[in-house]
Amino acid sequence: MNFEEIKNICVVGAGNMGHQIALQAAICGYKVKCSDISKETLEKADKFVDDYLPGRVKKERLTQEQADQARANIRFTDSLQEAAEDADFVIEAATEVLELKRKIYADLDQIAPKHAILATNSSAIVSSKIADATSRQDKVVNMHFFNPALVMKLVEVVKGPHVSKETADLTMKLCEKMKKVPVLLKKEVDGFLLNRIFAAITKEAMWLLESGVAEVEDIDNACIYGAGHPMGPFRLNDLTGLDLSYIMKMEKFRESGDFADLPTPRLVEHYIKGEYGEKTGKGWYDYSK
């Protein structure tokens, strides 16, 4: 398939990620159909588009004509058949459950035209765990957007061993056309690129805290004022939730059996006290004031 032949995009899932990926594609000129099994989610997504586009016009980020075109380009539906039957490129952003995704891919393989690429936005599932549910393994690829997808520029494209060069190239090009900055991972790896880098920084930050080398605020300030990060690892952790960090670390420990993967004592202490970060008013920082 030539890049110019990509005209119709199907997005599967209209949740947090899906509706924003779909809208970004519509703003960038693609005809987009976005499907979900939840009527409520579809209605919410449709309303989001109605609210978002006038705001962009007001801020002069889009002309009225561009906003009207984007609105005309996007449609929400509860029918996967309708969404995928004429798709040249599918971006799947459905719930993060492997068996569910495999079923969706088996269905997409039947519905979508043979030339269509099937890309998954999964944060953790590599496409080789899904590709064999289809008869087009060379066209099943990871295309990992970041939240919020309308704002964040980075997209990680992962070229698993089964992915053809053509699929990886077309996916990279589509990211650029969608005004994103794609990075190519030449191999599948747990956590992809950025989450691995963040995990390493966070692990080191936690170690420095536990070892009594420095306090939370000073470690965060080192990252902000020395490395130019928008926020430090502890502040970021307060936003994403200490509960999530605790659960993920325990899960990793269960898998690896490596004590180094256990949550650190200070993290456990906060978790036990229900101090999950900003959402509970306290985490590494105190937000009660």
Ligand X SMILES: NC(=O)c1ccc[n+]([C@@H]2O[C@H](COP(=O)([O-])OP(=O)(O)OC[C@H]3O[C@@H](n4cnc5c(N)ncnc54)[C@H](O)[C@@H]3O)[C@@H](O)[C@H]2O)c1
Interface residues with ligand X (CB under 6 A) are 12-18, 35-38, 41, 80, 93-96, 100, 104, 121-123, 144-147
Minimum distance from residue 228 beta carbon to ligand X (Å): 23
In three-state secondary structure terms, 117 is strand
**Residue whose CB is less far from ligand X, 12 or 22:** 12
Minimum distance from residue 5 beta carbon to ligand X (Å): 25
DSSP H helical ranges for the chain: 18-27, 39-58, 64-73, 80-84, 98-111, 165-177, 194-210, 216-227, 233-240, 242-256, 265-272
Minimum distance from residue 46 beta carbon to ligand X (Å): 13
Which residues does the annotation mark as catalytic? Answer: 123, 144, 156, 195
Quick one: the chain helix, strand, coil %, rounded to 5? 50, 15, 35
**Residue whose CB is less far from ligand X, 113 or 148:** 148
* Contact status, residue 141 vs residue 168, Cβ threshold 8 Å: yes
**Residue whose CB is less far from ligand X, 97 or 200:** 97
**Residue whose CB is less far from ligand X, 62 or 83:** 83
Q: Which of 171, 214, 165, 203 is nearest to 186 (CA)?
A: 165
b (16+ CB within 10 A) / e for 91-100? bbbbeeeeee
Please tell me the distance from the alpha carbon of residue 77 to that of residue 37, in angstroms, as a whole number. 9
Q: Among all residues, whose Cβ is closest to ligand X?
A: 15
Minimum distance from residue 136 beta carbon to ligand X (Å): 19
Residue holding tokens 């990620």?
Answer: 17
**Residue whose CB is less far from ligand X, 62 or 157:** 157
* Contact status, residue 234 vs residue 285, Cβ threshold 8 Å: yes
**Residue whose CB is less far from ligand X, 78 or 86:** 78
Q: What is the side-by-side strand order in the sheet with 181-185?
A: 74-77, 31-35, 8-12, 89-92, 117-120, 140-145, 154-158, 181-185
Minimum distance from residue 40 beta carbon to ligand X (Å): 9
Minimum distance from residue 106 beta carbon to ligand X (Å): 11
* Contact status, residue 182 vs residue 232, Cβ threshold 8 Å: no
The torsion of the CA quartet 13, 17, 22, 27, rounded to 10 degrees, works out to 170
Q: Which of 283, 280, 189 is nearest to 236 (CA)?
A: 283
